[in-house]
């Protein structure tokens, strides 16, 4: 009997150590560079200090296929992931992400409309816009028509390597009004028109994939202008680079936190999302990089000097286009396939 008790005690101790071995750091995946630096200051470090939970930051360029593969294999090593709006909706429909109860973050009403969904909680509002180096280009572009005008502005242009945003910009350059872009792009003739417009510029395009690349390309003179995430240009401006943003024709979107289905750190992941969604933490983030907060209470906390640099400033929304999330959920795969085939030619 005594021996059995000893064995039971040993087993109990072993199970405790086994549980400790299984426990691991919280892995948060985001688009790197200045965005990640702002997240470390606003979310990761304060969360670690408040909870004692170690956060490990991982960079990616939006490869949600990796998340899907982890979930399908039952080997989820990413706990919280930053994704763009169409990927939130598509992944939720496919059962790739955990559902998040809005009560956890104070309810949907506490956030800007459309920034909280079944599986995602909006982190910030951002824009992809035209950027140029004012030290190298004294008279800058004012529209996507100028971006396409290689006679007036000779040299390479930077564009994100993908169909999303690129096709919209091509139609804007071809004279389609922002309000009509998705109506046109929703037809075969409209898609053909966008690719025909891209054909005109193809020889002058330098593709980028990581958000840190456009400011680098512009600073080095590799390109005369580029599409770019507005926050990355803001970060370069804070470093003293004379880069300018053209808000006209920009496309704004929302990045959200999602939790891959089957994360062994689900409870801690939910706590992190809850923590990062607090207005004071979103305010810190927007002060570090020029992306707009999603928590309504955070909006009123923003320094008046910072407000004009955000995509959500009324002047910056004038002539801008909100991404049509449902369009990219419905047509994204086929358009990305066609784009990849076109780019490879």
Q: What does CATH list as the number for 126-253+317-344?
A: 3.40.190.10
**Of the candidates 123, 74, 80, the residue with the CA atom closest to the CA atom of residue 98:** 80
Give me 176's structure tokens.
């389609």
Give the domain ranges of the chain.
22-124+255-309, 126-253+317-344
- Pseudo-torsion of CA 42, 85, 230, 304, nearest 10°? -60
Residues of the chain with pLDDT under 70: 1-23
- Characterize the bridge pairing of strands 243-258 and 121-133: antiparallel
Q: What pLDDT was estimated at residue 6? A: 47
> What CA–CA distances, in Å, run from 285 to 38, 61, 71, 194, 288?
6, 20, 30, 36, 5
Quote the CA–CA distance of 116 and 112 in Å, as a whole number.
8
Q: What pLDDT was estimated at residue 23? A: 55
Q: What pLDDT was estimated at residue 24? A: 80
Give me 211's structure tokens.
């958000």
**Of the candidates 127, 75, 124, 117, the residue with the CA atom closest to the CA atom of residue 258:** 117
pLDDT digits (tens, 9 = 90+) for 79-134: 999 999 999 999 999 999 999 999 999 999 999 888 999 999 999 999 999 999 99
* Contacts (Cβ under 8 Å, ≥6 apart) of 31: 59, 60, 61, 62, 82, 210, 211, 255
Do you know the residue count of the chain? 345
pTM of this prediction exceeds 0.85: no
Class of domain 22-124+255-309: alpha beta
């Amino acid at each position: 009997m005594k021996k059995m008790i000893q064995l039971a005690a040993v087993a109990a101790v072993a199970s405790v150590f086994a549980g400790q071995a299984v426990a691991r750091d919280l892995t948060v995946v985001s688009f790197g560079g200045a965005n990640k630096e702002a997240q470390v200051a606003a979310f990761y470090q304060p969360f670690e200090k408040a909870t004692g939970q170690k956060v490990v930051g991982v960079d990616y360029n939006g490869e949600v296929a990796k998340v899907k593969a982890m979930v399908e294999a039952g080997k989820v090593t990413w706990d919280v992931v930053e994704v763009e709006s169409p990927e939130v909706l598509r992944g939720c429909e496919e059962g790739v992400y955990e559902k998040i109860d809005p009560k956890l973050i104070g309810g949907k009403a506490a956030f800007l409309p459309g920034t909280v969904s079944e599986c995602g909680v909006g982190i910030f509002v951002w824009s992809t816009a035209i950027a140029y180096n004012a030290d190298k280009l004294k008279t800058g572009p004012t529209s996507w028509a100028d971006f396409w005008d290689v006679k007036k502005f000779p040299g390479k242009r930077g564009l994100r390597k993908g169909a999303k945003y690129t096709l919209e910009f091509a139609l804007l350059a071809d004279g389609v009004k922002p309000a009509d872009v998705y109506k046109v792009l929703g037809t075969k003739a409209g898609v053909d028109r966008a690719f025909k417009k891209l054909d005109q510029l193809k020889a002058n395009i330098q593709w980028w994939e990581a958000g840190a690349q456009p400011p680098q390309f512009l600073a080095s003179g590799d390109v005369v202008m580029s599409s770019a995430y507005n926050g990355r240009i803001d970060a370069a401006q804070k470093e003293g680079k004379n880069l300018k943003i053209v808000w006209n024709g920009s496309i704004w979107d929302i990045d959200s936190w999602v939790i891959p289905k089957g994360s062994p750190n689900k409870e801690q992941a939910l706590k992190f999302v809850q923590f990062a969604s607090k207005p004071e933490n979103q305010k810190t983030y927007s002060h570090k990089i020029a992306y707009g907060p999603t928590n309504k209470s955070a909006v009123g906390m923003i320094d008046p000097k910072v407000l004009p640099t955000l995509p959500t400033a009324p002047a910056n929304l004038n002539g801008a286009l909100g991404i049509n999330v449902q369009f990219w959920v419905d047509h994204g795969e086929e358009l990305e396939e066609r784009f990849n085939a076109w780019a490879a030619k």
